[in-house]
Amino acid sequence: MDAALVQEFDRTDRHGTPISLAMMDIDHFKKINDTLGHSAGDVALAHLAKVVKNVIRSTDMLARYGGEEFTIILPGTKIDDAIEIVKGVQRDLTKNFFLNNNERVLITFSAGVAERFSDETVDETLARADAALYQAKQTGRNRVVGAPAPTQMPIMKSA
């Protein structure tokens, strides 16, 4: 993922095209692991990845970020379109239930989406997407929140 992010950020610099990043986190994943077992949790992660790959474009990339978190790299995509793509993943996930021992298990996720601004580093864009993800979790889960544009800190002049 790190190499793909650097490559895509370099490409956006060369071509002057937008790029957005989405951070996704499965809601209440600990409960899935605790009630269904860790092997079912692993299958749930694979199920989510399969649904995501069926929705995103061939130019987009999905990577596991850690635990139950995923990142989607969306080259050539402004934030409004990126939010719609991630909402489309949410819709497909509700249509494609995860089956555990022939029982339907509803999996939801929260997501934060950030569009990269000029000269912003990978880490800065990821941090804004992560902050938006945290806001999605804090405001009720199973939602997609767009990150605001980065703010410029005023230059402090010493007296």
pLDDT digits (tens, 9 = 90+) for 29-78: 999 989 999 899 999 999 999 999 999 999 999 998 888 899 999 999 99
Mean pLDDT of 81-105: 92
Give 27's pLDDT tier (boundaries 50, 70, 90).
very high
Per DSSP, what are the bridge partners of residue 66? Answer: 69
Q: Is the pLDDT of residue 18 over 70?
A: yes
Q: Is residue 29 part of a domain?
A: yes
Whether 157 is in a domain gets the answer no
State the pTM of this model: 0.89
Q: Which domain holds residue 115?
A: 2-143
- The rounded Cα 16 to chain-centroid distance in angstroms is 23
- Structural domain total, the chain: 1
Q: Check which CATH number belongs to the domain holding 44 and give it.
A: 3.30.70.270
Cβ contacts of residue 1 below 8 Å, gap of 6+?
A: 61, 63, 64, 65, 71, 73
Q: How confident is the model at residue 156 (pLDDT cuts 50, 70, 90)?
A: very low
Q: Could you read off the pLDDT of 112-131 as tens digits, one per residue?
A: 999 999 889 999 999 999 99
Q: Kindly tell me if the per-residue pLDDT of 159 is higher than 90.
A: no
Confidence label for 88 from pLDDT (cuts 50, 70 and 90):
very high
Query: Is 148 a domain residue?
Result: no
146: left (phi over 0), alpha (psi -120 to 50) or beta: beta
CB 20 within 8 A of CB 59: no
* Encoded tokens for 120: 């912003």
Half-sphere exposure of residue 48: CA atoms within 13 angstroms, side-chain side:
26
Active site residues: 68
- Confirm whether 19 is domain-assigned: yes
